[in-house]
Amino acid sequence: MTQPAPQQHPLAPLTIDIVSDVVCPWCYIGKRKLEAALQLPEAAHLPPVQIRWHPFQLNPDLPQDGMPRKQYLEDKFGGPERAKEIYARVGAAGQAVGLDLNFDGIQRQANTLLAHALIAYAQNSPANGPDNALGNAVKEALLKAYFVQGRFIGSLDVLVDVAVAAGLDGAATRAHLSNAATRQAVSQADAQARQMGISGVPFFIFNQKVAVSGAQDPATLLQAMQQAVAQATAQATA
């Protein structure tokens, strides 16, 4: 007896473009909130989701080899005590979504140009699937390396380790990240985000139509996704 073909979703995949940085705690928190939104019962009615990560450097002028975290906090907040107050609130927000952010473990503030280049490399890899599993895995690994493990993600060696752990070839990754054109492409993408008016991250764009700024609650993110799908449905049936 012939089996019925699996039912196709009537709409194209829901694209989620996320502009963020890998040294931004709110970006990590926002990632967890998006994941929670996609687990809500109402999300079962959404089309398949395609996530794409886009670069935004919170500190684009940081030296390529970074700077001591203590000096960074002094320059940004006026000293470690003020930073401790701010990060206490951020840490509480992280714990609320299951993240144990180890701010004290960060010894050196990283320039994130090469980290973003690694994410782009993973997303464009032939090994990556339509669900961007490889790109998502590398993004998660970089966030965890920085905020949980205290690793210096400005190091080429650390980035290659992250790439290999995700299944990428180490030598090919090192060669790609060492290419000046690779770094230039990330800088251009960062500049494009700023030209679009994006000044803070995370920044979510659903179906290139509906935008949400900040690490909003799962219900708010779900509502934006539903709005984007409703617009697509209306256009498809017009």
CATH number of 14-212: 3.40.30.10
Angle at 68 between CA 64 and CA 70, to 5 degrees: 145
Q: Are strands 14-20 and 49-55 parallel, antiparallel or unpaired?
A: parallel
| Distance from C-alpha of 64 to C-alpha of 109, rounded to nearest angstrom | 10
On the question of pLDDT at 3 being above 90, the answer is no
Task: Report DSSP letters for 166-201, one per residue.
Answer: HT--HHHHHHHHT-HHHHHHHHHHHHHHHHTT--SS
Domain boundaries, the chain: 14-212
Least confident of 80-89, 121-130, 219-228: 80-89
% residues pLDDT > 90 (the chain): 88
Least confident of 7-21, 63-77, 97-111, 150-164: 7-21
pLDDT for 71-117, tens place per residue? 999 999 988 889 889 999 999 999 999 999 999 999 999 999 999 99
Least confident of 81-85, 104-108, 148-152, 208-212: 81-85
Are 98 and 33 in contact, with CB atoms under 8 Å apart? no
On the question of pLDDT at 8 being above 50, the answer is no
| Distance from C-alpha of 166 to C-alpha of 133, rounded to nearest angstrom | 10
